[in-house]
Amino acid sequence: MKILFNRRPIAGPWGGGSKVLSAIKDECLNRNYNVFFEEEIQLDINFDIIFCMDPRPTQTTDFNKLLLKKNKNSRSKIVQRIGDLGTHGKPELFELVKITSQLSDILIFPSLWAKNYLNSQHKKCFVIQNAPLKDFIIQKHNRTISNPLKIVSHHWSNNQLKGFDIYKKLDDYCKVRNTKFTFIGRKPDNLQLSNYINPLSVEDLILEIPKHDVYITASKNEAGANHVLEAMALGLPILYHKDGGSINEYCQNYGIAYDNFEDLIFIIENRKEDLQNLSNNMLYQRSSRDMACEYVNLFESLI
């Protein structure tokens, strides 16, 4: 099988989409399939699968070129993963996805929430949830929630819709209360946080996150959130916003939802026993290899 990806994965502390792409690429290579990337669309090759990770144009290709390549080979299938619906301030991306989804043969969503959000009438839609790298997955552990409570979060995007307003309020609260909040990753330049750590490698992140008791995310309307999956795999219960989108699906049995900042503080101050019970039973085992196998199994079924 010959598979063309319209993006190249990026190594290092980048968003979950690149990690998903890298895992799928690795599984294709593991099965001895021929893998090609965006600039190689110009090669005289009849690709079996044209995988659209993101419909936005790059320097070397765009969706129209993918269509032209497909039209030259009736066996080719365009499989589009819809992992970003423009919900974080990119309405133009949502409009583009509505168009390209109608022109694709297969649609894959990282969550049922994302599928419902697009409200596509496409007949061949699949949901394959994201999953963290196997390195994050730990076996059963014993962790006692500490006092003071240690809370952590991490994002590789500094988009305001990741919830930085909540993180700032939490940081101010922790300055005067017996609690500690640490933020890892990229943040808006004008945002000052008491315990801030620059983006970390996978190896360092795996060491840093378990130093804390509870993970918080304030992000809303996430089509396929990876950050919470990494924290869950490392054994931390999640505090997540009720409007988190895919986060609610992913964290349903691994955390507690909150409505607003006041609700969040109530949970922190009054539900430590519930957090301890969650911590005692945290055992998330699905890895990015499992996820990638689902993608490549689907590719195989199309040929």
**144 and 274 together in one domain:** yes
**149 and 95 together in one domain:** no
Please give the average per-residue pLDDT across 115-131, as a whole number. 95
- Residue 284's nearest CA partner among 238, 233, 250 is 233
**126 and 152 together in one domain:** no
**Rounded (10°) CA dihedral 132, 7, 105, 288:** -10
**174 and 271 together in one domain:** yes
pLDDT at 2: 97
DSSP symbols for 255-291: EEEESSHHHHHHHHHH-HHHHHHHHHT------HHHH
In angstroms, the CA 150 to CA 44 distance is: 56
Of 47-61, 104-118, 137-151, 239-253, the least confident: 137-151
Contacts of 32 (CB under 8 A, 6+ apart): none
Please give the average per-residue pLDDT across 153-168, as a whole number. 95
In angstroms, the CA 139 to CA 201 distance is: 21
Residue 92, pLDDT > 90, answer yes
**150 and 29 together in one domain:** no
In angstroms, the CA 144 to CA 280 distance is: 8
Over residues 215-232, the pLDDT tens digits come to: 999 999 999 999 999 999
H/E stretch holding 97 reads helix 91-103
Please give the average per-residue pLDDT across 133-161, as a whole number. 89
pLDDT at 143: 79
Residue 246 is encoded by which pair of tokens?
């895919």
Q: Could you tell me the CATH number of the domain that includes residue 126?
A: 3.40.50.2000
**Rounded (10°) CA dihedral 201, 185, 6, 136:** 50
pLDDT at 14: 60
**156 and 223 together in one domain:** yes
pLDDT at 19: 87
Residue 262, pLDDT > 90, answer yes
Please give the average per-residue pLDDT across 19-46, as a whole number. 95
- Residue 286's nearest CA partner among 134, 58, 71 is 134
In angstroms, the CA 85 to CA 91 distance is: 8
Instruction: Read off the pLDDT band of 11 (50, 70, 90).
Output: confident
pLDDT at 17: 81
**117 and 232 together in one domain:** no
In angstroms, the CA 221 to CA 235 distance is: 24
**67 and 54 together in one domain:** yes
Tell whether pTM > 0.85: yes
pLDDT at 140: 65
* Exposure of 293 in the CB half-sphere (CA atoms within 13 A): 5
**119 and 179 together in one domain:** no
Please give the average per-residue pLDDT across 154-159, as a whole number. 94
What are residue 196's phi and psi, to 5 degrees? -120, 135
Over residues 167-218, the pLDDT tens digits come to: 999 999 999 988 899 999 999 999 999 999 999 999 999 999 999 999 999 9
**115 and 150 together in one domain:** no
Amino acid in position 226:
N
**168 and 190 together in one domain:** yes
Instruction: Read off the pLDDT band of 10 (50, 70, 90).
Output: confident
Q: Which stretches of 132-238 are DSSP H helices?
A: 164-176, 202-208, 227-233
Range of the domain at 103: 2-131+288-302
Domain total for the chain? 2
pLDDT at 15: 67
* Mean pLDDT, rounded, of the chain: 94
In angstroms, the CA 14 to CA 144 distance is: 31
What are residue 84's phi and psi, to 5 degrees? -140, 120
pLDDT at 40: 95
**126 and 139 together in one domain:** no
Percent share of the chain, pLDDT over 90: 87
pLDDT at 12: 65
In angstroms, the CA 195 to CA 254 distance is: 25
